Amino acid sequence: MSTKASMNETPLGQIETILKDLRTSFKSGKTKPLSWRKKQIEQLYKMCDEQRELFASAANTDFARPITETYLYDCGVIRNECIHALNHLDEWAKDEYRSDSLAYATMSKYVHPEPYGTCLIIGAWNYPFNLTLLPLLGAIAAGNCAIVKPSELAPHSASVLTTMIGRYLDSSCIRVVLGAIDQTHALLKGDIDHVFYTGSTAVGKIVAKTVAEKMIPVVLECGGKSPVYVADDANIAVTAKRLAWGKTVNCGQTCLAPDYLLCSKATESRLIPEIIRAWRTFYTDNPVNSDSYCHIVNGRHFERLKKLIDTSKVIYGGEADANRNYISPTIMTNVDENDKVMQEEIFGPLLPIVTVQNEHEAIEFINARSKPLALYIFTSNNNLAKTIINSTSSGSTCVNDVIFQIAPPSLPFGGVGDSGLGSYHGKYSFDTFSHHRSVVYSATWSEPILSKRNPPYTKQKTAFMESLVKARRNWVPLPRIGGFWFWAFAALATAVITRVLVRGFRDDKWEF
Amino acid sequence: MSTKANMNETPLEQIETILKDLRASFKSGKTKPLSWRKKQIEQLYKMCDEQRELFASAANTDFARPITETYLYDCGVIRNECIHALNHLDEWAKDEYRSDSLAYATMSKYVHPEPYGTCLIIGAWNYPFNLTLLPLLGAIAAGNCAIVKPSELAPHSASALTTMIGRYLDSSCIRVVLGAVDQTHALLKGDIDHVFYTGSTAVGKIVAKTVAEKMIPVVLECGGKSPVYVADDANIAVTAKRLAWGKTVNCGQTCLAPDYLLCSKATESRLIPEIIRAWRTFYTDNPVNSDSYCHIVNGRHFERLKKLIDTSKVVYGGEADANRNYISPTIMTNVDENDKVMQEEIFGPLLPIVTVRNEHEAIEFINARSKPLALYIFTSNNNLAKTIINSTSSGSTCVNDVIFQIAPPSLPFGGVGDSGMGSYHGKYSFDTFSHHRSVVYSATWSEPILSKRNPPYTKQKTAFMESLVKARRNWVPLSRIGGFWFWAFAALATAVITRVLIRGFRDDKWEF
């Protein structure tokens, strides 16, 4: 069991000094060169490669987290995002020139991404390295200094993070603060320029309120109850396995975990045996003995989850062992919206099933609640999926799987409404930690034109200025079909084909 | 002078009803079809075309706003952005498919932009139509319902807006609320999903804090003191005219107005006569009589500005007439950071000059204060400009002009730090009012691969999963040089050229 003893809290008095140091480092300009950023990212990669055993062991100590889950979903993910960033940082960070209509031809214009300054990253405990280091990667890629506050609920993970960040990364620009509410509050009130928070919606709102007074931009990665709708035409075998996996990986303590199930009675009766069979394959009949099944993070959450179990509705599982913070994979049926388990994000291995007759009832049920972080749909009918997607809103959506919509680096990961604000991953991480500054160089020789804006205002000058910048509706939007090089290729290909045809028909010489 | 008498305030109880109506309209799905959105945008265009005289006359009544300035900077700008949106809405709103490495080939993935729901737009008085209707355009383009709260400081403009929005736009989805602090507070506490605020930093912070409790995303378009650095090598004739225009258009009541000037004594002595000459050309020796020169918006701001004038430092202007809320274009020299005029955003026709010896002192002065909405640099040396840009931060920057960096639709317009958060204009407007929802369709036939993630965890399965998604560093990033069609074109062009050369050298036939 994790104890507070192994985590030293950063004294409150030190926090102001740390922030001062980071401010000085940022002002020195050392985080701006791409070479510095790439070096840090390479170090981050090395850290998550060389220290994978240490990290996995720490998370295992914290809440019996299976080694594989830390290898795959913390270390592996971070390494891949590091490589992705190294491959693309040059394009992300460069000045991006823009073009408009001829009216603006006298202006040389581009968007110049620049760092905010000092970025505060508040991590979460459930994926203790991923949810701290992926945002850190974004902050570094964008050229910021960063201060990381790992969650105190995974103290061993926080401790190894502190040691390793101190060893691998540039301590003049990247620091770790350990502690709980007091330290977090001191940081939020300190000299920072940006906050990236992962955690509960309730605390997220407090974070947002605290920094709003200083007009500090925030990204809030929260959660909520992510519904799963299983249509009657879903592939039951595949659905059951994927659902079973998503509900119990990290023991359901995943922001993107499928929270509750909506389906018809008929589908439920086909699904339940398959889910149970999958769980048995995964963890044997006694998950408490399985290395692949982790435990609830602490006693408080264990008690919270235990209260959500309505034994009269449990048809599988429902076992709980307070000594080990262990709760078995559990299914409850005939759940309705007033049950305890439907009042909060579960964040545990309980699968409540709410009966709906069809997708319309499902949509109604989903839309009556706050926008979830994820919406899951299992169906073999893509049109049905599309209907549900178009009638609802969620941070992200996956059809025929759960959680893995987070994997492709090209997609933004974030919530909407109560589930969060802002997004990251891939280029979105870079953008989230950057200010996109518009820069225009205006020609001095354009004065004859530009001076038409000067008073005294006359009808002629006004009419001139209006027509100079007047936008015109393009009714046949060719550019929509392709960009410049597409049309260049098309033109050249047409010329070649024409030449070949002409040479063929006219001279009877069929050759390129 | 504007009076409160002709602006009816919306009764507070009505606000909840209005928000209920908008919620019902949004739920009905009527704002989602692109046809509805385009129709509204076309109506917005028509309104700012057919009602330009009414709008200009209203602003003129509010603060003697020159007709031309409303024609150009309100109506004209809105019409052009409408056309731009109509030209591009299809590409902005479509599902954008993404591609990643082969590891994610079993996923069909795209980003699906969707509206938030009900968007609150709090407008400002200084460009009373632009700063209310441009955000409204963004909200509509993204498929939202909208509630507009124009500034009460320009009551005739607010009134004209209310009438015309009611006449031209779909009242079931777009409504106007009139009033002041009470109405704004009721709206912020109401059933809304997004807030777009234009106004002062102080109020912006209150807005942000009020909605943070509900995790509502905000865009804050604020201001601050936008510095101008005029280097010794600047083109004095052009600089003076552009600076003179920027400082007195809308009587300096522009968020992007050049606030104060930094330059050497030598440059100052060359610049001042030119600025004065420009002002005389613009407004004659008595701007109070000029139709092209507007007045301060109300008595409170007039008094505020009057207090900023240090008569001992005035070298030109300094005239004030309380009966007409008139302040003449004014220059103050030898201003230092402790003077009253340097303690707040001026938002008036006063130009304080602070002496610095070179760009390094200018950079130091700028960086000692909060990040401005705009930074202006006048120089004939682009490297000098670049140095200053790279050593500072601002919402946007313009070299050799002021304010007009806002004009090209391809550039984001917004602040950073105290000057604001978020951006809009062009596609940025659409994006700002949209939630970008990641959608993934996972193949069911990929189960043999995907099931490797399932417990029980083994070394082999783990290694398989790791290598499946492992990212590789690309040391020669071809994609950095060009996209797919660029390389297709290059390949085809190379083939054609090779063929021509071969045919030429081998057969002595020089032809395509």
CA–CA distances in Å: residue B39 to residues A236, A480, B106, B170: 45, 20, 39, 9
Pairwise CA distance, residues B419 & A486, whole Å? 40
- Taking Cα atoms as reference points, which of B278, B274, B252 lies closest to residue B351? B252
Residue B107 sits at the vertex; the CA angle it makes with B102 and B113, to the nearest 5 degrees, is: 120
The amino acid at B13: E
Who's near A511: CB < 8 A, 6+ residues apart?
Answer: A500, A503
Please check whether residue A371 lies inside any domain of the structure: yes
* End-to-end CA, chain A: 75
Residues B299 and B252 in one domain: yes
Domain membership of residue A7 (yes or no) is: no
Catalytic residue of the set B69, B81, B152, B221: B221
State how far the alpha carbon of A170 is from the alpha carbons of A4, A25, A450, B67, in Å.
27, 10, 49, 58
Q: How far from the centroid of its chain's Cα atoms is residue A232's Cα?
A: 31
Q: Give A484's pLDDT tier (boundaries 50, 70, 90).
A: confident
Task: Examine the domain organization and report whether B352 and B465 are in the same domain.
Answer: no
B435 sits in which H/E element: strand B434-442
Helices (H), B34-111: 34-50, 52-63, 67-70, 77-93
pLDDT score recorded for residue B1: 41
B236 touches chain A (CB under 8 A): no
Q: How many CB atoms lie within 10 A of CB A42?
A: 15
Residue B83, min C-alpha distance to chain A (Å): 6
Q: Which residue, A55, A183, A44, is CA-closest to A120?
A: A183
Claim to verify: residue B276 and residue B192 sit in the same structural domain: no
Query: Is A137 within a domain?
Result: yes
Rounded to the nearest integer, the mean pLDDT of chain A is 95
Dist. CA B238–CA A445, nearest whole Å: 9
Whose tokens are 């926090």? That residue is A15
Q: Give the pLDDT score at B507.
A: 87
Crossing angle between the packed helical segments A12-28 and A181-188, to the nearest 10 degrees: 40
Q: Is the dihedral of CA B282, B288, B289, B295 positive or negative?
A: positive
**Whether residue B190 sits in one domain with residue B173:** yes
pLDDT tens for A245-300 read 999 999 999 999 999 999 999 999 999 999 999 999 999 999 999 999 999 999 99
Q: Are residues A188 and A216 in the same domain?
A: yes
Distance, CA of A456 to CA of B289 (rounded, Å): 12
- Interface contact flag, B442 A400, Cβ < 8 Å: yes
Burial class of residue A202 (count of CB atoms within 10 Å of its CB; 0-12, 13-18, 19+) = exposed
Q: Residues B256, B200: one domain?
A: no
- Residues in A closer than 8 angstroms to B290, CB to CB, are 455-456
Q: How many helices (H) and strands (E) does chain A have?
A: 18, 20
Q: How many domains does chain A have?
A: 2
Q: Are residues B192 and B249 in the same domain?
A: no
Helix (H) or strand (E) holding A330: strand A330-332
**Radius of gyration in angstroms for the set of CA atoms belonging to chain A, rounded to a whole number:** 28
Mean per-residue pLDDT, B291-308: 96
Task: Name which of B219, B228, B220, B270 is nearest B246 in CA terms.
Answer: B228
**For residue A432, what are its two tokens?**
């989230």
Helix (H, G, I), strand (E, B) or coil at B447: helix
- Mark which residues 55-94 of B lie under 8 Å from A by CB: 66-69, 71-72, 76, 79-81, 83-84, 86-87, 90-91
Structural domain contains residue A188: yes
Question: For the stretch B469-482, what's the b/e string if a residue is b when 16 or more beta carbons lie within 10 angstroms of its beta carbon?
Answer: bebeeeeeeeeeee
Q: Which H/E stretch holds residue B215?
A: none
With respect to residue B501, please indicate whether it lies within any of the assigned structural domains.
Answer: no
The pLDDT value recorded for residue A477 is 60
Residues 6+ apart with CB under 8 A from A206: none
> What is the per-residue pLDDT for A427?
98
Contact between residue A184 and residue A42 where contact means Cβ atoms under 8 Å apart? no
> Largest Cα–Cα distance in chain B?
91
Residue B507 domain flag: no
- Do the beta carbons of residue B130 and residue B197 sit within 8 Å? no
**Confidence category of residue A510, pLDDT binned at 50, 70, 90:** confident
Kindly state whether residues A123 and A232 are assigned to the same domain.
no
Closest CA to B215 of A218, A198, A373: A218
Residue A482 — very low, low, confident or very high, per pLDDT cuts 50/70/90?
low
Domain assignment present for residue B6? The answer is no
Do A247 and A188 lie in a common domain? Answer: no
Parent domain of B123: 12-223+427-436
Computed on alpha carbons and rounded to an integer, the radius of gyration of chain B in Å comes to 28
CATH classification at residue B66: 3.40.605.10
Residues of A in contact with B499 (CB under 8 A): 512
For residue A111, list its beta bridge partners. A96, A438
- Does the residue B233 lie in any domain? yes
Which pLDDT score, from 0 to 100, does residue B90 have?
A: 96
B contacts of A83 (beta carbons < 8 Å): 471-473
Give how far the C-alpha of residue B110 lies from the chain's centroid of Cα atoms, to the nearest Å: 28
Task: Tell me how far apart the alpha carbons of residues A99 and A105 are, in angstroms, rounded to a whole number.
Answer: 8
Sequence length of chain B is 512
Each as own residue / partner, the long-range contacts of residues A488-493 (CB below 8 Å, 24 or more positions apart, any chain) are A488/B485, A488/B489, A489/B485, A489/B488, A489/B489, A489/B492, A492/B489, A492/B492, A492/B493, A492/B496, A493/B492
- Report the interhelical angle of A52-63 vs A34-50 (nearest 10°): 60
Contacts 24+ apart (CB under 8 A), B475-482: B477/A87, B477/A88, B477/A90, B477/A91, B479/A91, B480/A90, B480/A91, B482/A485
The verdict on A130 and A113 lying in the same domain is yes
ipTM score of complex: 0.93
Question: Bridge partners of A377?
Answer: A229, A399
A contact test, residue of B411, B497, B507 with most A CBs within 10 A: B411
Whether residue B113 contacts residue B142, with contact meaning beta carbons closer than 8 Å, is answered with: yes
Quick: pLDDT tens for B322-339. 999 999 999 999 999 999
Task: Summarize pLDDT for A321-364 with one digit per residue, the tens.
Answer: 999 999 999 999 999 999 999 999 999 999 999 999 999 999 99
Interchain proximity A204–B215, CB inside 8 Å: yes
Provide, rounded to the nearest whole percent, the portion of chain A with pLDDT above 90: 91
Please report residues of B whose CB lies closer than 8 A to that of A442: 242, 398-401, 404
Question: Tokens 């939007």 belong to which residue?
Answer: A477
For residue A192, the one-letter residue type is I
For chain B, say whether A492 makes contact (Cβ under 8 Å): yes
Q: Is residue A201 located within the same domain as residue A274?
A: no
Does A201 sit within 8 Å of B109, measured CB to CB? no
| pLDDT at site B376 | 98
Q: Is B478 on the interface with A (CB under 8 A)?
A: no
Taking the alpha carbons at both ends of chain B, their separation in whole angstroms is 75
CA-closest candidate to residue A264, choices A341, A333, A342, A185: A333
Q: Are B196 and B139 in contact (CB under 8 A)?
A: yes
Q: Chain A window 168-227: which residues touch B at a Cβ cutoff of 8 Å?
A: 193, 201, 204-205, 208-209, 212-215, 217, 220, 222
Residue B253 sits in a domain of what CATH number? 3.40.309.10
Percent of chain B at pLDDT > 90 equals 91
The token duo for B26 is 């949004």
Tens of pLDDT, residues B447-493: 999 999 999 999 999 999 999 999 999 877 665 566 778 888 899 99
What pLDDT does A1 receive? 41
Secondary structure of residue B374 in the 3-state scheme: strand
pLDDT higher than threshold 60 for residue B4: no
Span A392-399, mean pLDDT? 98
Torsion angle defined by CA atoms of residues A466, A469, A474 and A479, in that order, rounded to the nearest 10 degrees: 180
Cα A281 to Cα A56, A241, A285, B106, B383, distances in angstroms:
23, 10, 8, 24, 66
**pLDDT for A145 beyond 50:** yes
Looking at residue A3, its pLDDT comes to 44
- At which of B417, B436, B455 does a domain end? B436
Q: What is the DSSP string of A430-476?
A: HHHTEEEEEEEEE-STTHHHHGGGSSSP-HHHHHHHHHHH-----SS
A6 pLDDT band, cuts 50/70/90, is very low
- CA A198, B197, B244: angle at the middle one, nearest 5? 125
* B208 and B237 assigned to the same domain: no
